[in-house]
Amino acid sequence: MVILLAALFSGCWIGLAEAADAAAIDKADTAWLMISTALVMFMVPGLGVFYAGMVRKKNVLSTIMHSFFLLALITVQWVLAGYTLSFGPDLGGLIGGLDFLGLGGVGVEPKGTVPHLLFMAFQGMFAAITVALITGAFAERIKFSAVVVFSLLWVFIVYDPLCHWVWGGGWLQKLGVLDFAGGIVVHISSGVSALVAAIYIGRRRGWPRELMAPHNLTLTVMGMGILWFGWFGFNAGSALASDGVAVTAFVSTNVSAAVGTLTWGFIEWAHRGKPTLLGAMSGAVAGLGSITPAAGFVTPAAAMAIGLVGGGLCYVAVTMLKPRFGYDDTLDVFGIHGIAGTWGTLATGIFASIGASGLLHGNPGLLLKQAIGASVTIVLSAAGTLAILKVVDMTIGIRVTTEEEIQGLDLTQHEESGYTM
């Protein structure tokens, strides 16, 4: 009798606990975050297509392969160890504990108003696209094996600690640094790492003497469409709820992308006599990268200002600074993502007015915190990337041979060709 009562009593408690969990999980929030997770996942192969159109045709498949393969590789890394290092219980503000190793303890229990497992999946897509972004800097001259080893080491050494610092309860989050959807964690880290990698690996054979024009901008504009579309999940999904903040981020994302497109286009038109499709797409990415850290914290009017400045700064970085200093960042990862992410992070400290107050709303201290966050990220990304590159170079080597580079990476690294005619 006692055992029966105990069983019934425990069953009631289990039922009550399950009911409480169900009550804490919001169906609308869950549905929106599932959609957002899929949108960000779609951005990774979209990035591959976007990049592929801008390289020479002998490297089109290898460029897509970087993004596609890394989506799988980083997904596995995230499940096994990345998530717990990023979002596990805080250890001294520096790294997450191992409580969630292999997703132990991660199930459908609430994490805010969504299932913990869904939150994990959403964050994992950010890790995947961040690493994929870097590959644009050394496209057309790197061994595929080096890409794999570098990327795996990079997420452990740079991404996971930085993610914890900013989003997982680490010291930058405790300091009050704001990054709504990845200006620091995604764009500054990938942009700075890309610059270091481009300089370390060196220029492509013949660059800049030989013309290395994009071989298929139709592919690139298809990829750009996927990226712009997916960015709504990237930014608005980062509200982690289907609410007004998500709507604010959604609208600000579109507005900044549009203004960035127009800014680059009109500057290029005035500077070079004609606007180009490649320039318009570059401006769109500049606007999107700029608004990412600020998306849920600013009004649409502020988003216009952020996109305007972001488009202009990235144009200068790509068309003037890159030729001036002579580094071969193949697909302008630093010039667009690095510059846009840095500007957007600082702009958050200037324009924030929703959920936080920036310089223009009586809080100059936020701008200082944002500057600290950007500076720390630059140092971590540069130092970590350089160390990883040296290790990879000394062990398996990084760069393909001259003959392989001339023949193209599609054939030499993958034994296939993107075009048969």
C-alpha dist (Å) from residue 193 to 168, 198, 236: 21, 9, 26
- How far, in Å, CA of 146 to CA of 398, rounded? 5
Task: Note the pLDDT of residue 12.
Answer: 41
Task: Determine the average pLDDT of the residues in 74-89.
Answer: 98
pLDDT over threshold 80, residue 3: no
Helical packing angle, 27-52 and 116-134, nearest 10°: 10
Helix or strand run (H / E) with residue 57: none
Q: What is the per-residue pLDDT for 297?
A: 98
Phi, psi of 101 (to 5 degrees): -60, 130
Query: What is the pLDDT, as a whole number, of residue 420?
Result: 82
Burial annotation 279-301 (CB, 10 A radius, 16+ → b, else e): bbbbbbbbbbbbbbbbbbbbbee
Confidence of residue 132 (pLDDT cuts 50, 70, 90): very high
Asked whether the predicted pLDDT for residue 100 surpasses 80, the reply is: yes
Are 373 and 367 in contact by the 8 Å Cβ rule? The answer is no
**127 near 83, Cβ under 8 Å?**
no
Tell me: pLDDT of 19 over 90. no
Q: What is the mean pLDDT of residues 248-276?
A: 98
Average pLDDT over residues 156-163: 98
Which domains does the chain possess? 31-413 (1.10.3430.10)
- For the chain, give the mean pLDDT: 94
- Between the alpha carbon of residue 51 and those of residues 17, 337, 413, the distances in Å are 48, 14, 18
Mean of pLDDT values over 282-297: 98
pLDDT the model gives residue 23: 58
Check whether 302 has a pLDDT greater than 50: yes
What Cα–Cα distance (Å) separates residue 212 from each residue in 36, 194, 417? 36, 19, 19
| Residue 368 confidence (pLDDT) above 90 | yes
φ, ψ of residue 358 in degrees (nearest 5): -100, -165
- Per-residue pLDDT band for 216 (boundaries 50, 70, 90) equals very high
What digits encode the pLDDT tens for the residues 38-56? 999 999 999 999 999 999 9
